[in-house]
Amino acid sequence: MVDTSMPQERTVLRRQPKQERSRERVDEILKVTMQLIGEKGIDAVTMKAVADRSGGPIASIYQYFPNKSAIISTLYERYSMNLRALLQESLGNIRSVDDVMLAVDDILGKYYALIQADPSIRDLLNAIEADKTLQHMDIVETRLQAAMFTAATVAFIPEHVRERYARTTFLMFHLSGSTVSLAHMLDGEEAVLMLEDYRAIIKGQLQLFIEARR
């Protein structure tokens, strides 16, 4: 069974910041890294570039992060925590099948808006997928988010198809990331239609599971 409670941020920091000044330094490092990703792409992000932009010696970066992957990993964890909070908010009021369908609309809308508000997130996610040491994080996170959705909706699914339902939900959550990323690369009207089509696919799958008979 997957624990669907809201986990705390996993730590990849070399040293945990305990004082306010140290926490502010870590936050600045993370903020600057996201700025560099958004402006120049992930390949342009180096420990030296982060140190130069954040206004401190490079030693102050290594004090908290052993390498670039550790910074990217921490950024991904913070992004994931924000996404989980949005997901939990959308799932909190499900009482009927209609609520499930509304939750699908709400989740996709919030996810699209989150990426739209900060396009550098797309580059961050691409960096995670490109780094073999970090790919597993994305799989684990997607599985967790899918489990949250499954736990909130499984009461409407016949018991004999619940295992397949959980597996399909995991697949749909994985595909959601690709779909939203594609939508952001398209023109306005086509992006809207793409999201509407994907919503219809998800709802169609949900309806098949809800109406499943032996």
**Best CA proximity match to 33, nearest among 45, 48, 21, 17:** 45
Q: What is the pLDDT of residue 214?
A: 63
Give the angle 13-40-84 at the CA atoms, nearest 5°: 50
* Long-range contact pairs involving 4-8 (C-beta distance under 8 Å, separation at least 24): 4/144, 4/147, 4/148, 4/151, 6/81, 6/84, 6/85, 6/88, 7/144
Name residue, tokens 């206004």: 55
Q: What is the pLDDT of residue 17?
A: 56
- Within 10 Å of residue 211's Cβ, how many Cβ atoms? 10
d(CA 47, CA 32) in angstroms, rounded, equals 11
* Tokens found for residue 124: 């961050």
What's the burial of 107, exposed, middle or buried (CB within 10 Å: 0-12/13-18/19+)? buried
* pLDDT higher at 12 or 83: 83
> Each residue of 178-194: pLDDT tens digit?
999 999 999 889 999 99
Tell me if 172 sits within 8 A of 202, measured CB to CB.
yes
Domain boundaries, the chain: 20-210
Average pLDDT, the chain: 89
Any idea which architecture 20-210 has in CATH?
Orthogonal Bundle (1.10)
Sequence-ordered alpha helix ranges (H) in 41-96: 47-54, 58-62, 68-91
Q: What is the pLDDT of residue 8?
A: 46
> Each residue of 159-170: pLDDT tens digit?
999 999 999 999
d(CA 65, CA 70) in angstroms, rounded, equals 6
Tell me if 89 sits within 8 A of 111, measured CB to CB.
no
d(CA 30, CA 71) in angstroms, rounded, equals 7
Tell me if 183 sits within 8 A of 194, measured CB to CB.
yes
Q: What is the pLDDT of residue 18?
A: 59
Tell me if 128 sits within 8 A of 137, measured CB to CB.
yes
Q: Which of 42-46, 59-63, 94-98 ranks highest by mean pLDDT?
A: 94-98
Tell me if 177 sits within 8 A of 79, measured CB to CB.
no
